[in-house]
């Protein structure tokens, strides 16, 4: 079966297309429910720590689980049936509205499904039917999830960033993207580089320029890709972040005093570095003349 898939590019890419849609649909659930679950757990821990009465706890309804709870319409409570939950297709057939109350469904759901599928196809075309592709699927899915959660809540959950760190270190044992030494140094350098910038910025301005989740995310990218890719990731994320920030401020979509999540720019730069980092670095070295030294 694997030989057949390897020999047939259309069959391989069709399988990736379907897989990407399914994963994208699942990512929508994680993006929606994980922050709610974390906030509920934090409130419960605070009540327990402060020994508060349980009256407020009874009113604090536990959010649905990520894996097994059925999805419902947030307005009318309609339980979404299987045929109403087919990625992309159901959104089009339902014309973007709840089957029961006709409340508009956010366009973000099919966009995340389509984006996940597109990125998975690019990964498959880049690495082919290899172990790198399987690993890159997980890497891509986690980066998409972290990006959207950070945009929504300015939060990069440890459940995801630390898993990325440890999985990157584990995969380095098999030289999937880098070797163990480069992975370990990358994780340390990724974390410490932003940690130093954070404390210098706070020392000079008295303000916090970023969150600790950004440190862990860059450490994860270092673990996955090796320390050699970190300068490219930092440069790309800073450049894209600055350009988008200036454009949004210029369009009056964002106030200069309002904090902007940096995680999405780190995630985007990390994904680009995974896909084309070696090529980008090689082009830079040759064009600058450094490659001939």
Write out pLDDT tens, residues 232-243. 999 999 998 888
Does 159 lie in the same domain as 104? no
Does 123 lie in the same domain as 168? no
How does residue 45 score in pLDDT terms, banded at 50, 70 and 90?
confident
The answer to whether the pTM exceeds 0.85 is yes
CA distance 214 to 226: 17
Number of domains in the chain: 2
In the beta sheet, which residues pair with residue 72? 79
Residue that has been written with the tokens 């998975």 in this structure: 120
Residue ranges making up the domain that contains 216: 130-293
CA distance 112 to 152: 14
Does 81 lie in the same domain as 62? yes
What 3-state class would DSSP assign to 247?
helix
CA distance 274 to 178: 11
Does 137 lie in the same domain as 208? yes
Residue 202 has pLDDT above 70, yes or no: yes
Give the pLDDT confidence of 72-123 residue by residue, as tens digits: 888 887 888 888 888 999 999 888 898 888 889 899 999 999 999 999 999 9
Residue 255 has pLDDT above 70, yes or no: no
Angle between helices 212-225 and 180-205 (to 10 degrees): 160
Q: What is the pLDDT of residue 257?
A: 60
Using CA atoms, how far residue 125 sits from 122, 212, 260, in Å, is 5, 34, 33
Q: What is the pLDDT of residue 125?
A: 95
Does 249 lie in the same domain as 113? no
Q: What is the pLDDT of residue 1?
A: 44
Residue 286 has pLDDT above 90, yes or no: no
Does 182 lie in the same domain as 125? no
């Amino acid at each position: 079966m694997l030989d057949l898939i390897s020999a047939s590019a259309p069959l391989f890419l069709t399988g990736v297309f379907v897989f990407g849609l399914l994963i994208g649909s699942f990512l929508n659930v994680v993006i929606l429910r994980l922050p709610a679950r974390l906030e509920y757990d934090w409130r419960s821990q605070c009540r327990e720590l402060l020994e508060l009465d349980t009256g407020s706890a009874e009113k604090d309804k536990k959010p649905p689980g990520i894996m097994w709870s059925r999805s419902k319409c947030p307005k009318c409570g309609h339980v979404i049936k299987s045929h109403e939950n087919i990625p992309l297709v159901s959104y089009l057939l339902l014309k973007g509205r709840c089957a029961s109350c006709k409340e508009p469904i956010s366009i973000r759901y099919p966009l995340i499904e389509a984006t996940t599928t597109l990125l998975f196809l690019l990964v498959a075309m880049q690495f082919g039917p290899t172990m790198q592709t399987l690993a890159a699927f997980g890497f891509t899915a986690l980066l998409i999830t972290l990006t959207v959660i950070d945009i929504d809540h300015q939060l990069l959950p440890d459940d995801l960033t630390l898993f990325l760190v440890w999985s990157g270190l584990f995969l380095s044992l098999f030289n999937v993207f880098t070797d163990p030494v480069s992975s370990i140094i990358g994780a340390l350098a990724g974390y410490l580089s932003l940690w130093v910038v954070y404390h210098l910025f706070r020392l000079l301005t008295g303000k916090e320029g970023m969150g600790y989740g950004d440190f862990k995310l860059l450490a994860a990218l270092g673990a996955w890709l090796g320390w050699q890719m970190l300068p490219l990731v930092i440069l790309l994320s800073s450049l894209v972040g600055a350009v988008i920030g200036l454009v949004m401020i210029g369009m009056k979509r964002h106030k200069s005093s309002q904090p902007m999540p940096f995680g999405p720019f780190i995630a985007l730069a990390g994904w680009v570095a995974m896909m084309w980092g070696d090529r980008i670095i090689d082009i830079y070295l040759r064009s600058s003349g450094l490659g001939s030294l």
